[in-house]
Structure 1
Amino acid sequence: MDNQLVKFLRQKDFVLEKRLGQGATGNTVLLFDSVINEYFACKKYEPSQQALATKLFDAFVREIKLLHQVNHPNVVRVFNYYLYPEKHLGYILMEYVKGADVGSHLLFSPEDINQIFEQTVNGFAYLEENGVLHRDIREDNILITEKGVVKIIDFGFGKRANAASDFEKSVSLSWWCDLPAEFKSSIYDFRTEVYFVGKLFEKIISDMKIEVFKHGDLLDSMCKIEPENRISSFAEVRNSVLTADFSGATFGYFEREIYQKFSQKMSEIMISIETSAKYYTDAPSVLNNLEAAYKKVMLEKDVPNSGVVLLCFVKGAMKYRTKTRFSVEDDLRKFIDMFRSVSREKQNIIIANLSNRLDAVERYSDEMDSDIPF
Structure 2
Amino acid sequence: MSALAGQHILIGITGGIAAYKIPELIRRLKDEGAQVRVILTKGGEAFVTPMTLQAVSGEEVHSELLDTQAEAGMGHIQLAKWADIVMIAPASANTLAKLAHGFADDLLSTVCLATAAPLLLAPAMNQQMWQHPAVKANMQRLSEQGVKAIGPESGSQACGDVGAGRMSEPHQIKTFIIEQLQDSVSKPLAGVRLTITAGPTREAIDPVRYISNHSSGKMGFALAQSAAKLGAEVTLIAGPVDLQTPTGVKRLDVESAQEMLEAALANPSDIFIGCAAVADYRVANIAEHKIKKNAQSGAPQLELIENPDILKTIAEQNPAPMCVGFAAETRDVETYAIDKLKRKKLALIIANDVSNSDIGFNSDNNAAVVLSADERVVFEQQSKTSLAHQLAHYIANHFHQNFRR
Indicate the structure with greater helix content. 1
TM-score (ref. length: structure 1): 0.23
TM-score (ref. length: structure 2): 0.22
Indicate the structure with greater strand content. 2
